[in-house]
């Protein structure tokens, strides 16, 4: 038997202390499966004079399940440094994707043992904390993204945000590639937009949320987050994959008392291929463990590629019972408009942020009318009404449904 095959032990019964990963593998042979386990733990392609049999038996990862193209690998907890997500991912999702032994490899699921999971802080607010902060109890949160993504001045950006808030949006966020460009510097933008937020709150009597994008090199990101705190902004937004796992962990553990909204820009480079990569549900689990409060998970409708089943897997990773770690609020965003609200309720229920960019600002009558239409659609469906009934009393919704050619039920 070869070196890699030593790491296959189908009689092994994982303990609750083990970290367990599920992979989809091709070819799903004992050698390829063993290669995944070996290279992600203590083994390599040849026997080692430096590895004692005692250490090998204690710390080797073990393939304990093989069925079709799926394998499950159990890892001894001592292989990992607690509170160090980069090290953990370097092990279970590192060099294994580059090996000749595997033609296809996807990390489908990860189960962190309690001791490792609890070494991270988890979300500071989670779903319950966000509902308490916003005062929105019985419906999805309603959000938009300032459009166009780039090109607006701070004053123009704030004006768009204000129109969305007074129209009925709870949340306005920066887009993923807006940081601190010359035409829209970070400090000027947050000052203008937070001022517009306070004005909208005074006029509507509702809590309004602004999510400024603080994504930058980690030290710069922390400086920006502290500027938001200094100005009494409640939220920060970060592009979690491009900022990096360590950067996000640092932001969370700084304990700034801000809700962390996580945008998943670049995720599809890891998640979309059926042949190689990491499932979005694994990333969702990882970022919940690190401690983000909200995370984009796809829509099941709209312009994003994931179907309903994949989106529900992502939602499950954010909201299941997980060692008393707080639940992360799913965010549906990407090609949405008011006519999609009934389908979004069927997929997500009420615990979701329904976030429409073009579906608000693309309304024929402008941003405020688009926000009115989205708010009317969400409140109607939350109360068990049809969009047809809601549109009969809300002209803005009626125009939105006609504009995006939505067929409604009577």
Query: What pLDDT does residue 217 have?
Result: 97
- Please write down the long-range contacts of 302-311, taking CB distance under 8 Å and 24 or more positions apart: 302/332, 302/334, 302/335, 302/336, 302/340, 303/334, 303/335, 304/334, 304/335, 305/268, 305/272, 306/280, 308/347, 310/279, 310/280, 310/281, 311/347
**How many C-beta atoms surround the C-beta of residue 275 within 10 A?**
11
C-beta of residue 296 within 8 angstroms of C-beta of residue 348: no
Domains of the chain, first to last: 4-117 (3.30.70.150), 126-403 (3.20.20.110)
Query: What pLDDT does residue 57 have?
Result: 87
What does the alpha-carbon distance between residue 278 and residue 1 come to, in Å, rounded to a whole number? 30
What's phi and psi for 3, nearest 5 deg? -60, -45
Listed as ranges, residues in the chain with pLDDT below 50 are: 410
Write down the number of H helices and E strands in the chain.
Answer: 18, 13
Q: Which tokens hold the place of 96?
A: 């294994």
Q: Which residues contact 256 (CB under 8 A, 6 or more apart)?
A: 225, 226, 229, 236
C-beta of residue 226 within 8 angstroms of C-beta of residue 250: no
Where would I find the beta strands (DSSP E) of 273-395?
276-278, 294-296, 329-333, 353-355
221 to 126, 131, 250, 254, 265: CA distances (angstroms): 21, 26, 10, 11, 16
Give first-to-last CA distance, the chain, whole Å. Answer: 67
pLDDT in tens, 271-305: 999 999 999 999 999 999 999 999 999 998 877 77
Residues 269, 274, 277, 282: is their CA dihedral positive or negative? positive
What does the alpha-carbon distance between residue 352 and residue 336 come to, in Å, rounded to a whole number? 13
What's phi and psi for 262, nearest 5 deg? -105, 115
In DSSP terms, 104 is beta-bridged to 26
Query: What pLDDT does residue 291 have?
Result: 98
Q: Which residues contact 308 (CB under 8 A, 6 or more apart)?
A: 300, 347
198 to 129, 187, 202, 210, 232: CA distances (angstroms): 21, 17, 6, 10, 10
Query: What pLDDT does residue 404 have?
Result: 94
Q: Which tokens hold the place of 408?
A: 């409604």
Tell whether omega for the bond before 27 is within 30 degrees of 0, i.e. cis.
Answer: yes
- Positions annotated as catalytic residues are 147, 263
H-type alpha helices, 171-279: 186-204, 218-230, 240-243, 245-253, 268-271
Query: What pLDDT does residue 304 have?
Result: 73
What does the alpha-carbon distance between residue 239 and residue 261 come to, in Å, rounded to a whole number? 9
């Amino acid at each position: 038997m070869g070196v890699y095959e030593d790491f296959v032990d189908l009689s092994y019964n994982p303990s609750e202390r083990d970290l367990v990963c599920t992979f989809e593998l091709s070819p799903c042979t004992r050698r390829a499966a063993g290669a995944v386990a070996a290279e992600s733990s203590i083994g390599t392609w040849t026997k080692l004079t430096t590895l004692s049999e005692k250490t090998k038996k204690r710390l080797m990862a073990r393939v304990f399940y093989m069925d079709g193209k799926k394998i499950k690998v159990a890892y001894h907890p001592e292989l990992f440094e607690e509170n160090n997500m980069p090290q953990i991912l370097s092990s279970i999702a590192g060099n294994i994707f580059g090996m000749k032994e595997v033609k296809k490899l996807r990390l489908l699921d990860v189960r962190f043992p309690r001791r490792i999971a609890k070494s991270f802080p988890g979300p500071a607010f989670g779903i319950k904390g966000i509902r308490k902060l916003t005062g929105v109890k019985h419906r999805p949160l309603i959000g938009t993204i300032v459009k166009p993504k780039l090109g607006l001045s701070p004053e123009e950006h704030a004006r768009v945000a204000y129109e969305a808030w007074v129209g009925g949006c709870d949340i306005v966020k920066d887009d993923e590639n807006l940081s601190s460009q010359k035409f829209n510097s970070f400090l000027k933008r947050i000052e203008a937009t937070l001022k517009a937020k306070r004005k909208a709150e005074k006029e509507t009597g509702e809590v309004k949320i602004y999510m400024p994008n603080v994504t930058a090199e980690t030290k710069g990101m922390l400086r920006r987050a502290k500027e938001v705190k200094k100005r009494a902004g409640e939220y920060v937004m970060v592009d979690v994959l491009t900022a990096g796992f360590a950067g996000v962990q640092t932001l969370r553990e700084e304990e700034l008392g801000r809700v962390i909204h996580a945008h998943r820009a670049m995720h599809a480079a890891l998640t979309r291929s059926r042949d190689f990569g990491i499932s979005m549900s694994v990333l969702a689990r990882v970022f919940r463990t690190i401690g983000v409060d909200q995370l984009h998970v796809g829509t099941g409708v709209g312009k994003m590629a994931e179907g309903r089943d994949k989106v529900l897997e992502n939602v499950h990773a954010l909201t299941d019972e997980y060692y008393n770690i707080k639940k992360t609020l799913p965010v549906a965003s990407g090609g949405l408009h008011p006519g999609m609200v009934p389908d979004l309720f069927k997929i997500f229920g009420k615990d979701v942020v329904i976030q429409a960019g073009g579906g608000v600002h693309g309304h024929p009558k402008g941003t405020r009318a688009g926000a009115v239409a989205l708010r009317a659609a969400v409140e109607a469906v939350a109360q068990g009404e049809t969009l047809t009934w809601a549109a009969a009393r809300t002209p803005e919704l009626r125009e939105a449904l006609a504009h995006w050619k939505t067929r409604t039920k009577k």
